[in-house]
Amino acid sequence: MKVLIVKTSSLGDIIQTLDVLDYLKERYPLVDVDWVVEKRCASILQNNPLVDRLIIYDRHGDQSAFKKELKSTYYDHLFDLQGNCKSARITWMARSTYKVGFAFKDAPEWPNCLVTNRRYSIGGNTSRCQDYLQIVQQHFYDTDHFSSKHKSNTDSNQVIYLCPFSKWPSKEMNIQTTQRLMEMIHEYDQSTFKILWGNAQEQTIAHQMVDLPYVEPLDRVYEFEDLLKLFNQSRCVIAVDSLPLHIANRATCKILALFGPSSKVKYGPEGDGRLSIQGHCPYGVTFKTRCPRLRTCVDYPCMQGWTPEELFESYLQIMKSTCKK
């Protein structure tokens, strides 16, 4: 059986789709899975042994070469898990018996449904990982619960990886609150901290947070596989809604996830040893996936309003749980 996954971006969304890859390879061991991904996101899949072939999509590259490679294989099943107009063009060009995607009401951009011939609804109160799995499992008439099994690591140490930064300032942790939280955790269990950063500005802020002798920034920006190894050997990951959070959900560590203008139900990690908490909005704004003020809010009260004591209580809760993933 030959399967094509169309999930071109972004890095975090691709990581949330990896459970589909695990599912296909576990349920159908002889399946060949190809994946269409944008050039800027390809590195996250290039060393994945479960992907048989990467088809790189470059908007600024040779479209005729891309089209030729895409159409070189006839697929039994194509899963368009991007669900927008960009992926619709790719799905339309590809050759497949079944072109599977979102139902009209669930598609991120409804014109995508015009190029699929099998469409499935998703649950309203499920995570993005489960949304993608639901589509694939419904297509194969599979009602059994599936959960990816990642190898446990028994060498967990005293290190906590702290991921306070995000592409959107409205998702970031308060620096003063974060510093006090690290002090409280270290006093409790002598944990040490490593702070993740992704650009020069974040690196500067991270270095401003190292007044404490048990805190240090990472020395560089790590790729997916290297970061996964670090997380597998850690005591815990504390993160906002960001790429490192979704990478951590592929690891065996415990996770404390902080959500403000995005939904912990839709984007939070799942399973034992994971805890997601949602910040309070004093303006009474409600949403199912992302806050409509994500890009326009000026004071970020849902993320800035937590006290160190509240976050510490959540940390204690997660450390008392077991991680069986």
Please name which of 229, 228, 230, 254 lies closest in space to residue 243, comparing C-alpha atoms.
Answer: 228
Question: H or E element: which one contains 57?
Answer: strand 53-57
Q: What is the pLDDT of residues 292-311, one digit of tens each?
A: 999 899 899 999 999 999 99
| pLDDT at residue 270 in the model | 86
DSSP class per residue in 264-309: HHHHS--STTEEEEE---TT----SSB-TTTTT-SS-HHHH---HH
Cβ 18 vs Cβ 37: under 8 Å: no
Q: Torsion angle of alpha carbons 103, 267, 14, 52, nearest 10°?
A: -80
Upstream peptide bond of 10 is cis (omega within 30 degrees of 0): yes
3-state per-residue secondary structure call for 227-248: HHHHHHCCCEEEEECCHHHHHH
Domains and CATH numbers, the chain: 2-139 (3.40.50.2000), 159-319 (3.40.50.2000)
At 150 the pLDDT is: 57
Judged by DSSP in three states, 211 sits in: coil
**What pLDDT, on the 0 to 100 scale, is given for residue 321?**
77
Q: Has this prediction a pTM greater than 0.95?
A: no
Cα–Cα dist 26/255, whole Å? 25
pLDDT at 153: 45
Task: State which residues of the chain have pLDDT below 50.
Answer: 151-155, 324-325
Residue bearing tokens 């970020």: 300
